[in-house]
Structure formats: structure tokens, C-alpha cells
Amino acid sequence: MPAPHHQSPATITELQETLADWFERTARPLPWRAPDRTPWGVLVSEVMSQQTPVARVAPVWLEWMDRWPSPAAFAAASTADVLRAWGRLGYPRRALRLQECAQAVVERHGGEVPEDEALLLALPGVGAYTAAAVMAFAFGRRSVVVDTNVRRVLARTVGGDALPMPALTAAESARAARLAPVADDDAALWAASSMELGAVVCTARAPACDRCPVSHLCAWRAAGYPPDEHAGRRRTQTWKGTDRQARGTVMGALRASHGPVARRVLDDLWPDAAQLSRCLGSLVEDGLVEQVTGDGAVADAAYQLPGGAGAQD
């Protein structure tokens, strides 16, 4: 195994400044980056963008912010309306946690997203990444923003590795903290630019090294692009036939319905009855679905979104 690569302080400074200049010239015009963005809008965008491509998030975010422009407005929404508006973003429990978060913002902070990382972390559904991202992108404050894209950029440019470890390590977190500039504005710009590079250039499967603004500073390139030494430990996500697909099929049918959906209708949409029963049970337990009839016989059961499937957008 080659010795770990260490970039000099001068190289790190050049890396930060070059990426900042590149970002300010080429950043994607995402709606939550607009000058009139609000902290609430940034928080919503971060929750929506977890495990979901930005291209799918943007139109939903625009509709969402038009309808619920503040935590107070969203806190008062019905669960059925929330789940319909969430649509096909996936992992709909995020929508319920986001509403719990909005309610906590109203109750604890007078309806204003707090400009304090510890207070953000105390909100329901807000983890270390989301709290740091809101501090950087909503308030322009120094924080250590570490998502999948940032991890990959730092692994390559600074560490000389093809990809980071399968799970975030303490050493990675320490490196990210060490590299974040001291000044608020510089740190926020570094967070945004390193994340953007990973999203559009320094991608996992097909990095566009020929158009990378910092390829001349990249430790991975200097080392001759060594292969991923952790490839055998990485999980590959499947979709077809999984419980996730079954749950998504059920949620899609309920979002489209004007009333309760009978179990026999769902049986026609998903052929594995045992898997369907398991997934319906988990959806009910998660608070995403209500069973409205058929307490005894499965065949007589019907389901709807919480709060009444008749509630329309």
C-alpha cells in the first residue's frame, strides 16, 4: 500500500481558491441558491436532496416553497397533503420528520430557523450534515459540511485515493475540519464549491478529470489514478422486487386515490401477498398509511394516507 499523500498548506490554499473561483463562475442555478433564499428553504432543500438527485428535487421544492413558504405554514399542513406533495422523492418518512422539524421550529424558535448549529442539531430529523449545511448555505457561517460528494473530492484531491472508505471515518471528519477555512465566507464557499465539484465533475463512476479545475493539484491524479482498494466492501443498491419498491408502489396508489384503496386493488399492483402485507404493516407503523377497514380479514382491508385520503392538494 502506498504511503498516504500529504498536500502542502500552499497547495491546499490554491485548491480552495481555485475551486472558489470555478464555483462562482459555473455553479448550477439551483433555486435554493437564489439571493432571496430563506433558511427554511435551504433546510427543506437539504432534507429533500438526501439520497435523491437534485434534478428530481428542484420542481418539487419550488411547488413546496410556494405552498408552504415558512415553517409555520408547513407545520399546520395535513399529513395527507404533505405526503402527496412529497410525491416520488422517495423515503417519505423524511417528509414526516420535516414536518416534526417545522413544528419544533415554531414551538421553540418562534417560527425562525435558528442560526446555531447546536440548536439545529436538536431539531427532529436534523443530523450533523444537515445542520452544517444550513449553517453554511443559509447563514454563510463556518461549518464542516461532509456529504458523499465532499468525501470523494477530499479523498481524491488530498488523500490520493480513488474513493473514500465505505463509511465515514473519524480521520475523514478530522481532515474535513482541518481543511475548512477559518473565515465564515471562505468556509461557506469551500463547502459549496467542493460539494459542487463532486456532484458535477468528480463523480464516483466517471470523473471528468479533463475538465476538472483542480486536476493539476489532485493527489489521485499525481499517483497515477490507483484503483479503489475498498471496492469489495461497497454495497450495491437494488430496487426491483425490494420492500422499498413495494412500499413505493403502495404510496403511489394512495397518493393518486380520492378515497381509501382496497387491499384487493393493491394485490393487483404487487403480486407477492406476504411481502405486500409486511410492507403495509411497516407503512402503518411508520405513520405513512392508515388502515381504515378490515381489522379481521385481510381481503376486506382498505388503506389511505393519514388524515383521510380524500384531502386534496
As a whole number of angstroms, the distance between CA 41 and CA 182 comes to 26
As a whole number of angstroms, the distance between CA 230 and CA 93 comes to 31
What ranges make up the beta strands (E) of 129-199? Answer: none
Q: Is 14 a catalytic residue?
A: no
Catalytic residue among 14, 46, 172, 290: 46
Amino acid at 296: G
Grid cell in block for residue 47: 432534507
Which helix (H) or strand (E) segment is 263 a member of?
helix 263-269
Grid cell in block for residue 55: 434534478
Helix (H, G, I), strand (E, B) or coil at 142: coil
As a whole number of angstroms, the distance between CA 164 and CA 196 comes to 17
Grid cell in block for residue 2: 502506498
> For the chain, what's the residue count?
313
Which helix (H) or strand (E) segment is 132 a member of?
helix 128-137
Q: Is the Cβ–Cβ distance between 136 and 128 less than 8 Å?
A: no
Which residues are known catalytic residues?
46
